[in-house]
Amino acid sequence: MQHPLPSLNGLRAFEAAARHLSFTAAAAELNVTQTAISHQIRRLEQELGLPLFVRKNRALALTPQARDYLQGIRAAFNELRLATDRLLRKDSGHVLTISTLASLAAKWLLPRLPAFQEAHPEIDVRITTSTTLVDFARDDVDAAIRFGRGQWPGVRADWLMADELFPVCSPALIKGPKALRKPEHLAYHSLLHTSGFYGDDWRLWLTAAGLSVDISRQPGMTFDLILMTVQAAIDGAGVAMGRTSYVQTDIAKGRLVVPFKIVRPTDAGFYLVSPLARSDPPKLVAFRKWLATTAKNMDTPNS
């Protein structure tokens, strides 16, 4: 039996509040009152018959069911935005739509994208995020930045960059009586983990460093997006396992430091993937050339 669809306003309120983990920020984004957001969320919870948020003092957290639900809601709103863009777009020849991972977009691509826009003001760049592989036959996407070994059938895959694994932390953690000076000192600090694809990063680095993997099993915190793990490290919540692409900017700006010189290369990398039949329009050629040059000029984490 199909369940009736919940209220669209309630879903918009939920998506915004879940993204910000704040009813106040969601209200500001949607141009409504905080009370309206609270009522819409409560009505949505009643329609679904389950709680979506754990309400704490001055803080919000998603329930496990809400975290799963959020992925589908984000994907649905993304589809709506893309469909609207297709409907209203007047000159798609100048619109370049790139799909990538949310964390890579936030921590690596977006800080660098203004340089491309300055060099190519005639190209209207659209960024869409997804954890799933793009279906170029179905999705209105020109290219995608994906992590892997580049062996995807039916597409052109241009190598961009590799990642290295190494711990990162707030500068505050390398000072004082509990300063993080040696890898062995990790046993006395909270470790920050990222679930899913990155769930094995700590074990891989500890093995490369000749340390016991038991250190990775000590109590810590786990996040579902690496950008959240990195932000927790910036805030001083513990030590995160960094990947070059996700922490390079924060290291350069002094928000993070690399306490040890031990790095472990990964066995895969980032590629710009495009459909073979549509891999050479001028807008994509310009982006591919800029992206490859930008990736090639990346600084190393200890530089």
Domains 91-162+268-296 and 163-264 share a fold: yes
Architecture of domain 91-162+268-296: 3-Layer(aba) Sandwich (3.40)
For 44-83, the pLDDT digits (tens) are: 999 999 999 998 777 889 999 998 898 889 888 888 877 7
3-class DSSP state for residue 34?
A: helix
Q: Treating both helix axes as pointing N-terminal to C-terminal, what angle do 34-48 and 23-30 enclose, rounded to 10 degrees?
A: 110
Per-residue pLDDT 10s for the chain (303 aa) are 567 788 899 999 999 999 988 999 999 989 999 999 999 999 999 999 999 999 877 788 999 999 889 888 988 888 887 777 666 655 456 889 999 998 999 999 999 999 999 999 999 999 998 877 788 878 889 999 998 888 888 899 999 998 899 999 999 999 877 789 899 999 989 999 999 888 899 999 999 999 999 999 888 899 989 999 999 999 999 999 999 999 999 999 999 999 999 999 988 899 999 998 888 889 999 999 999 999 988 754 443
Q: Where are the domains of the chain?
A: 8-82, 91-162+268-296, 163-264
- 88 contact partners, CB below 8 Å, separation of at least 6: none
Strands 59-62 and 53-56: antiparallel
- Rounded CA gap, 21 and 14, in Å? 10
Contacts by residues 27-33 (CB-CB < 8 Å, ≥ 24 positions apart): none
pTM beyond 0.95: the answer is no
Q: What is the DSSP string of 165-213?
A: EEEEB-GGGGSSTT---SGGGGGGS-EEEE-GGGTTHHHHHHHHTT--G
For 80-100, the pLDDT digits (tens) are: 877 776 666 554 568 899 999
DSSP code, position 299: P
Whether the CB-CB separation of 62 and 93 falls below 8 Å is answered with no
Residue 67 has φ and ψ, to the nearest 5°, of: -60, -40
- Rounded CA gap, 120 and 166, in Å? 35
Q: Considering only CA atoms, which of 206, 218, 298, 220 is closest in space to residue 260?
A: 206
pLDDT of res. 88: 63
Contacts by residues 25-28 (CB-CB < 8 Å, ≥ 24 positions apart): none
Whether the CB-CB separation of 183 and 260 falls below 8 Å is answered with yes
Q: Given 3.40.50.720, 3.40.1360.10, 3.30.379.10, 3.40.190.10, which CATH number is that of 163-264?
A: 3.40.190.10
Domain 8-82 indexed as CATH 1.10.10.10? yes
Output the six-digit token pair for 294.
Answer: 């930008």
3-class DSSP state for residue 8?
A: helix
Give the count of beta carbons closer than 10 Å to the beta carbon of residue 300: 11
End-to-end CA distance of the chain: 59
